[in-house]
Structure 1
Amino acid sequence: MMALGDREAASAAGGPERHVPVLLSEVLEWLDPKPGEVIVDGTFGAGGYTRAILAKGARVVGIDRDPDAISAGRALEEDSDGALMLVSGQFSDLESHARSSGFDAVDGVVLDLGVSSMQLDEAERGFSFLRDGPLDMRMEQAGPSAADVVNELPVRDLIRIIGLLGEEKRATSVAHAIDAARKEKQFDRTLQLADLIEKVLGRSPKKAQIHPATRTFQALRIYVNGELHQAAEALGAAERILRPGGRLVLVSFHSLEDRIVKRFFQDRTRTRGGGSRHMPEEEVPPATFELLTRKAVEAKAEETAGNPRSRSAKLRAGRRTDAPARVMDVHAAGVPRLAEYQGLGG
C-alpha cells in the first residue's frame, strides 16, 4: 500500500463512507457515457457508478464476484427497464461477460479496484482488523479463506506474501510469530490475528492512527482474492472488448494496483521504442490506447472531507484506438511472481 495513514486505515477497516462511490464526478467526466452506449461496470458493488451511468441514458453490464452485491442489485436491475444486466462473476472475465450479455464491443469500462466499503463494514466477512469476525476475506465467499492461508502456508510463503503484497518491512517477524502462535491454536478470528501483529510490531507514536495489522491484512486480502492478477487480466479484457473510441477508467486505492494500471497505460500508449546511436530503436506495436489523464486524478478536498476512502484513490483513464489488442503479460504489468493466488499449494 502507499504510505499508510488514516486514509488507508479508514479504507481497510470500513467507516462512515459506506456505499459512497469514490470520484464519481471524475469517473463520469472521463467515462463520458452517452444515451444508447454500452458500459461495463466491472465492480458493481453497491451500484453507485451504475446508477449514475444509467442516469446518462447508457446501458450497463454490471459485474460483481460477491453474491451479496448481485442479490442487492436485483431491484435496480428490475427497475432499469432492461438497461442494466447484472452478471455474477470476476471482472477479469469482463470480455466474456459482455459477450454473453449480447455485446461484441462496448463503449466504456469502469473498474473500482480493491475491496468495497460494504464488504469492509460487515464484520462477518472478515476483512476488518477493527471488528471481530471470522478470518475470511473471500469476496466470492468460496474457496480458501484467509484463515486457511494463515494456518496452512509455510513460513517462507507467508513472508513473501506479507512482504510483497503488504509491503510490510517486518514481514519475517510477523510470519514467524504467526507460525509460533498457530502451533498452539489455529487462527479463526480477525482480532486474534490483529492482536498478535500488534504485539509483534507495536505502535509507532508518529503513526498512532495506523493499526500495525494494516499491511498484513491487505496482503492476505489481495492473496486470497487474487486481486492483482484480476486487475491485470481485466486490463487485457477491456482492451479486447472496447470499440475504437471506447473509454477505460480505473480507480485504484494503493500503490500495487496503481503501478499495474500506470504501467499498462505507459506500454499501451507508447509510440516509440528506446534506442541510441549504438543500438537501433526497437520496434513498437501500434498504440492501443490514447492516454486521457497525463497524471493520476485525485479526489478534491470536499470529497475527502466526507469520504476518507477517497483520500487514497487515484483515477487513470485512456481511450481505445483501432490498433489490434495485444497479449496481456500480467507479470510485465507488475504482478509479483508468487505461488498461485487462487488455491493453497499452487
Structure 2
Amino acid sequence: MSNYHNPVMLQECIEALDIKPDGTYVDVTFGGGGHSREIMKHLGKGGRLIAFDQDADAQRNAIEDDRFVFVDQNFRYLKNFCRLHGAIPVDGILADLGVSSHQFDEADRGFSIRFDAELDMRMNQASELTAKQVVNTYAEADLHRIFGIYGEIQNAKSLARTIATARLNGPLSTIADLKNAIAGLIPRGKENKYLAQVFQALRIEVNQELEALKEFLTQCAEVLGTEGRLVVMSYHSLEDRLVKNFIAKGKFSGEVEKDFYGNDQKPLTAVSRGAITATEDELLENNRARSAKLRIAVKR
C-alpha cells in the first residue's frame, strides 16, 4: 500500500473529520487506503467506514475488517450506495481528489507525460471513453473548449486545430504521437507545465471529473447528518473553485439564495478560513502535496 499512494495532509484530514468512535464515515477516494486506515484507527466497535473507488487496482488494498465496506463505484453515486448500506446520515465524508501516485506511476494507464503508452487516462478501466478517442474523434471546436476550460491553456484554439490537422495523416494513438503532433506549440522552457495542462484537460474530459464532483458535493449535503464534516482536498483551481463555492453558497455559481426571512439557504458552513495547505516538512517529503488545498465544512 505504501508504494501505491502517499496520503497527503493525513493528520490534517483526520483532525478535520473530528472522528467519533461510534460514527459512520465515508472515504470516497480510497486508492491505497492510507486515509482509510488512519480513520479505522480512530473508530470503536460501533464505528463504520464505507470506501468508494472506481479503479479496480484500488480494490486490492481493501481492508479486512467487519466495520469496513468497499464500494467499487465512482463517488457520484454516493447517496445511492450509502442508502444501500444503511449508512445515512453519516458523520463525515473525506475526498482526496485527482489522480493517485499509483495511477501516475503505472505507465500503461497513460496518465503521465513521463512515459510513452496508449492514450488511455481512464480511472475506471471498464468505461468506454479514452483519451485516444477524444483526441481522434472530437470536433475541433470541442477540443478547443476542453483545452481552454479544463486545461486553462492560452493557445487552446491553435492546439485544437493542430491536433485536428495532425490526425488527418493517421490516428494519434500514443502519448508520443500526441507530443510530436503538438511539439511546435509548446513554449520553450515550460514543456512540462504545458503538457501537464494538456493531459489534465484530456483526463478531466475522459473521466467527467467536474460533473462527478458537482454531483458528489450536492449529495454530500443530503447524506451528512447535523454537525457532520465534509473534508475535501483538491489539486487544481477548477476543482477547488467548485468546492469553495459550494461550501460558501450551497451552489456552484451566483449568489447565496435566501429564505422568506432573509436567512442564507446553504447546507454547509466553512470550518477553516480559506484553504489549508501542506507544511514545509511535508512538502520536502511529498512533492504531490505542493498543489493540494484542503477545505473543511460542517453541516448545520
* Aligned amino acid, residue 73 of structure 1: N
**Is the counterpart of residue 298 in structure 1 residue 283 in structure 2?**
no
Offset from partner CA, 1:27-47 (integer Å, 9 cap, x none): 011111221111110111111
* Aligned amino acid, residue 237 of structure 2: S
Check the 8 A contact 2:256/2:265 in 1, yes or no: no
Shift of the 29–297 alpha-carbon distance from structure 1 to 2, 3 Å rule, reads: same
**Is the counterpart of residue 234 in structure 1 residue 223 in structure 2?**
no
Higher relative CO (Cα under 8 Å, sequence separation at least 6) belongs to 1
Residue 104 of structure 1 deviates from its aligned partner by 2.1
* Aligned amino acid, residue 287 of structure 2: P
The residue correspondences of 1:186-197 to structure 2 (distance < 5 A) are: 186-197=171-182
Residue matched to 1:183:
168
Offset from partner CA, 1:13-61 (integer Å, 9 cap, x none): xxx9851001111101111122111111011111111000001114210
Check the 8 A contact 1:203/1:211 in 2, yes or no: no
Residue matched to 2:120:
136
Where 1:213 maps in the other structure, the secondary structure is helix
Q: TM-score under structure 2 normalisation?
A: 0.91
**Is the counterpart of residue 35 in structure 1 residue 24 in structure 2?**
no
* Aligned amino acid, residue 187 of structure 1: L
2: distance between equivalents of 1:27 and 1:126? 29
Q: TM-score under structure 1 normalisation?
A: 0.80
2: distance between equivalents of 1:35 and 1:49? 16
Residue 211 of structure 1 deviates from its aligned partner by 4.1
Residue matched to 1:73:
61
Displaced runs of 4+ in structure 1, greater than 3 A?
272-275, 281-287
1:111 to 85, 92, 95: 95
2: distance between equivalents of 1:201 and 1:179? 16
2: distance between equivalents of 1:165 and 1:320? 30
Residue 95 of structure 1 deviates from its aligned partner by 1.2
Residue matched to 2:286:
307
1: distance between equivalents of 2:289 and 2:234? 10
Where 1:94 maps in the other structure, the secondary structure is helix
Residue 175 of structure 1 deviates from its aligned partner by 1.0
1:267 to 249, 263, 277: 249
In the alignment, structure 2 segments of 5+ residues that lack a partner are: none
**Is the counterpart of residue 223 in structure 1 residue 205 in structure 2?**
yes
Where 1:73 maps in the other structure, the secondary structure is coil
Check the 8 A contact 1:30/1:247 in 2, yes or no: yes
**Is the counterpart of residue 51 in structure 1 residue 37 in structure 2?**
yes
Check the 8 A contact 2:250/2:256 in 1, yes or no: no
1: distance between equivalents of 2:159 and 2:165? 10
1:87 to 71, 74, 77: 71
Aligned-residue Cα RMSD (Å) equals 2.1
Residue 148 of structure 1 deviates from its aligned partner by 0.3
Where 1:136 maps in the other structure, the secondary structure is coil
Residue 151 of structure 1 deviates from its aligned partner by 0.2
2: distance between equivalents of 1:147 and 1:86? 30
